[in-house]
Homo-oligomer: A and B are copies of this chain.
Amino acid sequence: MAASVQSLADRFGCELRGDGSRSITHVAPLGSAGPAAISFLANPKFHGQLADTRAGAVILAAGYADQCPTACLISKNPYATYARIAADLHPPASATAGIHPSAVVADSAHIDASAEVAPLAVVEAGASVGARVIVGPGAVVGADSSIGADTRISANVSIGARVVIGHRCVLHSGVVIGADGFGFANDETGWTKVPQLGAVIIGNDVEIGANSTVDRGTIDDTVIEDGVKLDNLVQIAHNVRIGAHTVMAAMSGAAGSTVIGKRCMIGGGTVMINHISLCDDVLVLFRSVVTKSILKPGTYSGSLPADEASTWRRNAARFRQLDKLADRLRKVERELDSKSLK
């Protein structure tokens, strides 16, 4: 898909500086872009590459326009503008309407005529697949589930029974939605499974990364609100609720019944223990352990950076003595105090 610089500026609400007639066919980084590419400058760190760029056009903030050797599209948020223009120039493949003959679709399933069901996919009884949905190869859509319009389900995704997924979602390969939550009652015979009877409800515009897992609720549902983005290998336990537009980076997890607010950002590898809640607008930095509810928006942290091993070992050994060190310090203070009094 090609577009003139002028038309991109018009359609994406940017002020144009320079020659708008050039035809743009693709995006490229500042350093390697040629004249048919549009690039962007969002991170000031790459500012040095601007002067030498051979891009056909650059999306940037007003302050950099004078230094741009080629046409530029001025945006208050160059990265978001870039994202929209890149999606326009490189749209994802749209659904090829129809059910591949090798797919297995239950008679009672409803597949919109514009949806694509890829080779060797399975759609179980009572499931509903909306307009322009893509059900990827080898994916399984469980009984009585519902997939909203324009949602894309990649290869080998597994969706359990009675899962509801909204519009324009993206589920990457290996994602599992609606497996049983981890619930067992203990008695003298060991562990008795607690039936996991709830569903999973996923809003619109949700993206879930490869091999992430979202369990169904125990009695009530697990809920993921609109616009949530989960990275790869993320774990969402039963009865968790994730507020709209929250993002969770790779390898993070929310234990059972955690409630996460809107617009939170959860760093990679972070664990939130069960039955806590995070208010809206909380940023938790990577690899934290959140053990109690967070009631105040702000930034929270919880990991110790790696160090050269011998240094780390000495400090880690002292950590094991920390309580005793504190007691000794207290004793020293008292002794000094008593001397002062004399």
Flag whether A323 is at the interface (Cβ < 8 A): yes
Residues of B within 8 A of A197 (CB): 27, 86, 90
Which of B160, B253, B318 has a CB less than 8 Å from the CB of A250? Answer: B253
B245 and A249 contact, CB distance less than 8 A = no
Identify the closest chain B residue to A195 (Cβ). B86
Flag whether A325 is at the interface (Cβ < 8 A): yes
Which of B28, B84, B122, B286 has a CB less than 8 Å from the CB of A138? Answer: B122
CA distance A137 to B251 in the complex (A): 27
Flag whether A158 is at the interface (Cβ < 8 A): yes
Identify the closest chain B residue to A89 (Cβ). B195
CA distance A324 to B87 in the complex (A): 51
B235 and A232 contact, CB distance less than 8 A = yes
Q: Number of contact residues on A: which range applies?
A: 35 or more
Q: Which positions 42-66 of chain A face chain B at CB distance < 8 Å? A: none
Q: Which positions 246-304 of chain A face chain B at CB distance < 8 Å? A: 247, 249-251, 253, 255, 268-271, 273, 284-292, 298-304
Q: Which positions 158-193 of chain A face chain B at CB distance < 8 Å? A: 158, 160, 170, 172-174, 176, 179-180, 182-187, 190-193
B306 and A291 contact, CB distance less than 8 A = yes
Identify the closest chain B residue to A302 (Cβ). B306
CA distance A182 to B226 in the complex (A): 17
CA distance A227 to B118 in the complex (A): 34
A301 and B291 contact, CB distance less than 8 A = no
Residues of B within 8 A of A269 (CB): 253, 271, 289
Identify the closest chain B residue to A87 (Cβ). B195
Flag whether A94 is at the interface (Cβ < 8 A): no
Flag whether A156 is at the interface (Cβ < 8 A): yes
Q: Given that A268-B255, A268-B271 are contacting pairs, would A227 and B160 also be in contact in the complex, using a CB cutoff of 8 Å?
A: no
Q: Given that A179-B232, A305-B291 are contacting pairs, would A83 and B155 also be in contact in the complex, using a CB cutoff of 8 Å?
A: no
**Per-residue interface assignment for chain A, residues 220 to 248, with 1 indicating a CB less than 8 Å from any chain B CB and 0 otherwise:** 10000011010111010100000011010
Smallest CB separation, A270 vs chain B (Å) = 8
Which of B90, B124, B186, B300 has a CB less than 8 Å from the CB of A195? Answer: B90
- A213-B233, A232-B235, A301-B313 given. 15 additional CB < 8 A pairs? A83-B183, A102-B104, A104-B119, A119-B122, A137-B140, A138-B138, A155-B158, A182-B209, A233-B233, A251-B271, A270-B306, A284-B306, A301-B307, A315-B320, A335-B336
Residues of A participating in the B interface, judged by any CB pair closer than 8 Å: 27-29, 77, 79-80, 82-84, 86-87, 90, 92, 100, 102, 104, 118-120, 122, 124, 136-138, 140, 142, 154-156, 158, 160, 170, 172-174, 176, 179-180, 182-187, 190-195, 197, 205, 207, 209-211, 213, 215, 219-220, 226-227, 229, 231-233, 235, 237, 244-245, 247, 249-251, 253, 255, 268-271, 273, 284-292, 298-309, 311-323, 325-326, 328-329, 332-333, 335-336, 339-340
Lowest 9 A-B CB distances belong to which pairs? A302-B306, A158-B173, A288-B306, A104-B119, A179-B210, A301-B312, A80-B185, A176-B210, A314-B323
